[in-house]
Structure 1
Amino acid sequence: MTPPGSAGMILVVVVRAYNGVAEFWAAARGLYETDPARHTFALSALSAFLSQGGSPSLLLTVWRDDALVGAMLQIDRADPLRLSALSLDDVGAVVEAYAAADPSLVAVDGPAEVAEAFAEAWRSRVGAEPAPPRHNLLHELGRLALPAVRGAARLATLADLDLLAGWTLDYEEEDYGRRSTPERMARVLRSNLLGPELVFAVWEDEGRPVAFAGARRPVAGVSRVGPVFVPKELRGNGYGIAVAGAATSWALDEAGAARVVLFTDESSPAPNSIYRKLGYRPVERFSEIRFQRL
């Protein structure tokens, strides 16, 4: 694609696809590491694939006159195309290239302005109607302030697999309106518990598990906390802020993170209030937008 540039110049925009993570990482690493908090999802996903094998279903870079200007990935066909490293200027070129190759994109996720511009361009180009955006706030930790809550934290083990699978299914349904199969969830969590990338803190009150939170090992100095879940019947006791604080402490003290981030649903006031009390502050608004074929 060759859109006109300023002063009559022609800018050549090229979208390149990759078959393997190592090749993509070699090309895109420098771009992602310029802002590892903004690109936390992509960095943690790529780190996991590099250490454990496998590959996302789609890996793309964007080049303008032979200079790397963007990168995107999609974990699988049901997952959003992740746009955190795509600039607003290159949305049109990417939509044209992607639509020509595969018009069945299910969703996008990225900084709000970019994701919403992509969704509108995709609607015009492909005829897929975007659903109302889900707005997520990226928060970054300032100074951690741990609360005084009854109970204590421990790290989960394989013995907690059934507990975590049930809670994660409930979290997924409550937060995203969809639910994986128990078999798939157990398989994913078993891999997480055995792997090096992710740990789960479990909060216990008098020996009873009451909440959990995930925390990822740092990539480029940044660790991401989440998900955080407390069963409905146990809410109102401070367990959510306690276990989120425990996961954050693990990221800082055990994993050696220089920075810690997390995402919250902008429309959920309770979690946003909790994380502010811990010392997190919102730094950027993301939008997840799903498409429905007309």
Structure 2
Amino acid sequence: MEIYRFEDINRFYERSHNYLLSDEAHHCLLLRIIHGLIHSPERYEFPAYLALVEANGAIIAVAVRTPPYKLVISQVKDFAALQVIAEDLHNQQALLPGVSGLVEEAQAFAEIWQRLTGTTYTSGIQMRIHQLSQVQPTAKASGYLRHADVGDLDLVLEWFEAFFLEALGFVEEDLQRLVSLQLSKKIIYLWEDIVPVSIASGKISTPNGGWIGPVYTPVEYRQKGYATSCVAALSQALLDQGCKNCFLFTDIANPTSNHIYQTIGYQPVCDWHDYAFENLSC
């Protein structure tokens, strides 16, 4: 069993893409991060950790971290590979804020990291990956989908801050820079009914798929079908651009959003867990 680390994102993707694309839905977050590193490197302020583990010439695990965020791990063919990844990071004196991955993989890595470093861990948000290949007809809310532009910056910042606080309990430190970048790339959308009433980000993020999220509707505009129509229209737009599938994450503890997305045509694929190490935030 051997670990290989890469500094060149294109070489890393060349080596890992067949493994990741063998189960695109399970690996949609990893593929999205890699897509961002290739096509929007200016988003990332620090060098990424890019690693894969091979046994008998075949990849059995992939791991990516873009500081200051958590480590993201792939579906693993042999859980011994997680020990190899943990030891490699520990040897680099990496201070990990946490790990994110499929349920068994994420928990196994958290336990390994705790044994290796003495760092305690706590369970974070429990999510579910959904996949859509065809938008189902639903009742359309009043209004229409449009791109957000620079004139919407203050509104987008306000709503994204509210989303992160509500969903994750924290706000990204460089949110304004990230929002400005996303606005310039035209990947933020608003559902407008005289005034903006709902927001979603969406873009092509894998060779065959699009990514949607975050999605947010202010409290005063909820229960009116705006988020449903916003996500349905954006999903269709991505399919029209050539995506075979669209992916999104939902909070398992939020039955409303899970139901909304399933009425549009999103089907649950797998669960995805998040663990935080000690009192570090990411």
For normalisation by structure 2, the TM-score amounts to: 0.91
Q: 1:126 aligns with which of 101, 104, 117?
A: 117
Using a 3 Å threshold, how does the CA distance of structure 1 residues 125 and 19 change in structure 2: closer, same or farther? same
1:288 aligns with 2:274: yes
Q: 1:201: Cα distance to partner?
A: 2.1
Q: 1:161 aligns with which of 138, 142, 153?
A: 153
- Asked if the contact 2:210/2:245 (under 8 Å) is kept, the reply is yes
* SS of residue paired to 1:226: strand
- Asked if the contact 1:106/1:291 (under 8 Å) is kept, the reply is yes
Partner of 2:24: 36
Q: Distance in 2 between matches of 1:88 and 1:108?
A: 18
Q: Distance in 2 between matches of 1:150 and 1:74?
A: 41
Q: 2:227 aligns with which of 214, 217, 240?
A: 240
- Asked if the contact 1:136/1:285 (under 8 Å) is kept, the reply is yes
Q: What is the letter of the counterpart of residue 263 of structure 1?
A: F
RMSD (CA atoms): 1.9
Deviation string, structure 1 residues 133-152 (Cα, Å, up to 9, x no partner): 42110011154223321222
Unaligned 5+ segments in structure 1 are: 1-12
5 Å matches for 1:42-191? Answer: 42-53=30-41, 56-76=47-67, 78-89=68-79, 90-145=81-136, 146-181=138-173, 184-191=174-181
Q: Distance in 2 between matches of 1:81 and 1:53?
A: 18
- Asked if the contact 1:201/1:246 (under 8 Å) is kept, the reply is no
Unaligned 5+ segments in structure 2 are: none
Q: Distance in 2 between matches of 1:93 and 1:72?
A: 11
Using a 3 Å threshold, how does the CA distance of structure 1 residues 88 and 106 change in structure 2: closer, same or farther? farther
Of residues 222-231 and 81-90 in structure 1, the stretch that sits farther from structure 2 once superposed is 81-90
Q: Distance in 1 between matches of 2:156 and 2:63?
A: 30
Q: Distance in 1 between matches of 2:57 and 2:264?
A: 44
Q: 1:185: Cα distance to partner?
A: 1.7
Q: 1:85: Cα distance to partner?
A: 4.1
Q: Distance in 1 between matches of 2:162 and 2:124?
A: 22
Q: 1:218: Cα distance to partner?
A: 4.5
Partner of 1:227: 214
Of residues 114-123 and 27-36 in structure 1, the stretch that sits farther from structure 2 once superposed is 27-36
For normalisation by structure 1, the TM-score amounts to: 0.87
- Asked if the contact 2:3/2:54 (under 8 Å) is kept, the reply is yes
Of residues 93-102 and 129-138 in structure 1, the stretch that sits farther from structure 2 once superposed is 93-102
1:17 aligns with 2:8: no
Q: 2:195 aligns with which of 208, 211, 214?
A: 208
Q: 1:269 aligns with which of 255, 260, 268?
A: 255
Q: 1:264: Cα distance to partner?
A: 0.2
- Count residues in correspondence: 275
- Asked if the contact 2:71/2:100 (under 8 Å) is kept, the reply is yes
- Sequence identity percentage: 25
Q: 1:192 aligns with which of 163, 182, 201?
A: 182
* SS of residue paired to 2:106: helix
Q: Distance in 2 between matches of 1:212 and 1:147?
A: 18
Of residues 220-229 and 36-45 in structure 1, the stretch that sits farther from structure 2 once superposed is 36-45
Q: Tell me which structure has the larger Cα radius of gyration.
A: 1
Q: Distance in 1 between matches of 2:112 and 2:248?
A: 29
